[in-house]
Structure 1
């Protein structure tokens, strides 16, 4: 096989209580990438659509991730990559993670799968660092593996996959504004009160337990963030009104997707999800800021060949 085309899905990271450790994979939003073997060594990005991002390999998220994987192997050839962006940068639904995860997945497939999907995450993190300034896996892990993922630790990298309850739906409202991950991190405080930490630990444990036991009410009770959301929500116009509209219409929980500006809600069943989407949409219309809204089941597969 000398050429492959893949789909790289969007993701929701943090999930309120799980800052930098929890994420889920969305089913119907994502980028596409094409990979070709090349007689020339190294990585060359030959085409980019949908975004104004660098062609230089060492400045491009996908390029850096791709270099990370091939540097581990003594290859006599290289790869050309086309990147077709459908996830806007700075959207809060894992644009850079899709590029990074897609890059290492595509090359791994053309190489005959020398690495497992879990092993590929460590290479994808190198690309993610180009966009955010740090190697983290809360987006690249669910993009690569699908479902929910918990990053238990980084040294060594320890990722747990969690199957989504079958009736769980995600709603994502994406305002057409950009919040850079680095800017969203700048508003955070390096120290947190002990009581806030205790509350957050309990919610993380409750959310994990709720997913495993398919207890939707427990999932809803646990989708609370007392540490990060209070500091970041001011960056997102009309956030409180949109979140309250979602909760009042039956959402299990709602919050900031990744670093924002996207706002997500988790719902039990498609009917409630559609009602919640309408309510969130109506609440955000007041801002007069253009936006997209998506309704999706949780993607169980992650990045895939198409």
Structure 2
């Protein structure tokens, strides 16, 4: 093959109480990566669309091509050459897994172009390197679901242990992105290094309850468990009108509402698409009343992850 076009979806990380261990993919938006073989060795970034010139054009410093370089080194391939185009279809610093989508689309496209020497699950450490390039931290709660699809749990980082769990078929996500930006590094910097035993116990109970609620299709348990007593109280101060938007979502039927990733996007989970749409409308309206424009996406949890859109 000489050409590959791949898509990887946006994701919601943390999922309220599951900081750095929970994440799920949604159906759209997502990033698209194109790769063309070339005769000369080396990776060249041909174009980046939608980033307003903000992303690095140095292949080693860009998440999409950095993962390709790591993959080629791992496979011992030294004479491979290609040109890469990245289509950014979500804002930078959005809390929607923007860098993860780029990294996953890149590593999946490269693996496909090389006739799939690695299984999908084996690509995860390379995708995580894309997160390290982009934010300085190789976390897996965005790249995991972007790569594997579904609702993903990172049980351990050392050794890496990632798996997915079933979710209710009528569970919908409403993802609202206000037109502001939060740097992931800044959002991690403000977090405390230590938490109280009381809060730790409460958080552990909610984590267990959310997993059980999802697997048992117990919507009431899901709702009771979507409480974050550690991360949300700190990060929410970075999002204007957070408390009003969250309360509006809950008042209009959302099971729960919290920060998507490091923000500023917010997500809500609802039972049924009509509820999810209604929640999206009221969240958007609440932001608008404060003079903040926003975009809304309503989606089932994406079980498939990345897609190969075209190849020849």
User: Fold match, TM over 0.5?
Assistant: yes
Displacement, 1:284?
1.0
Match of 1:63 in 2: 65
Distance 1:67 1:26 in 2: 27
Q: In 2, Cα distance between the equivalents of 1:251 and 1:275? A: 9
Give 2:21's aligned residue: 21
Task: Tell me what 1:7 maps to.
Answer: 7
Instruction: Tell whether the 8 Å contact from 1:164 to 1:300 is kept in structure 2 after alignment.
Output: no
CA distance in 2, matches of 1:79, 1:168: 41
Structure 2: distance between partners of 1:165 and 1:3: 37
Q: Name whichever of 282-291 and 4-13 sits farther off.
A: 282-291
Question: Does structure 1 residue 132 correspond to structure 2 residue 135?
Answer: yes
Say which SS state the counterpart of residue 176 (structure 2) adopts.
strand
Aligned to 2:295: 292
Residue 234 (structure 1) shift: 0.7
Secondary structure of 2:11's counterpart equals: strand
Please list every run of 5 or more consecutive structure 1 residues that lacks an aligned counterpart in the other structure: none
Q: Residue deviations 1:6-48, cap 9 Å, x none? A: 1111000000110011000011211111112222223211111
Contact 2:177 2:265 in 1 (8 A): yes
Q: Tell me the CA shift for residue 117 of structure 1.
A: 1.4
- Structure 1 distance, partners of 2:240, 2:131, is 26
- Aligned partners of 1:207 and 1:222 also within 8 Å: yes
Are the counterparts in 1 of residues 173 and 300 from structure 2 also a CA contact under 8 Å?
yes
Tell me the TM-score normalised to structure 1 length: 0.98
Separation (CA, whole Å) in 2 of partners of 1:152 and 1:115: 22
Alpha-carbon distance in 2 for matches of 1:217, 1:113? 42
Q: Secondary structure at the match of 2:261?
A: coil
Q: Which runs of 5+ in 2 are unaligned?
A: none
Equivalent residues of 1:163, 1:300 under 8 A apart: no
Say which is worse superposed, 26-35 or 255-264, in terms of deviation. 26-35
In structure 2, what is the Cα distance between the partners aligned to 1:245 and 1:90?
Answer: 24
Cα deviation digits, residues 238-263 of structure 1 (max 9, x gap): 00000001011110100000000001
Question: Retained in 1: the 8 A contact 2:287–2:293?
Answer: no
